[in-house]
Amino acid sequence: MRDPLSQLNFNAIPIEQKTLAAASITTSYALVGSVFSSPPVMVIIVSTLDTAVQFSWDGVKDAFPILANSAIILDLKSDGAPLPAVAYGPYVKEIGNPTTGTLYIGGFTV
């Protein structure tokens, strides 16, 4: 791990947007796009879905709900502990039964 001052010398690199439409969300976890190819330092989640969905980092354990028509910004760098890219990705499954909308996930890596 780099010391905090050396981290200031790195530029943020945008993560390619990942999407999942309401029709693709079921009672089993579905990967939104692909697993992260680099450790994310910020993750931005925007839901235009008409109901809440359950989020998971690994497709097994529930992490938190994403409410209908909401946005979440996760600043992982502020604690100096980005997620390891090789094991984590954005997964979602039904809480309700979304019929319209899309889930968008983006962010930044270094």
- Residue 91 pairs in a beta bridge with 31, 56
Q: Write down the domain spans for the chain.
A: 21-105
Structure tokens at 45: 């989640």
Please give the pLDDT value at position 86: 65
- As a whole number of angstroms, the distance between CA 13 and CA 108 comes to 5
> How confident is the model over 47-65, as pLDDT tens digits?
999 999 999 999 999 999 9
Q: What is the pTM of this model?
A: 0.86
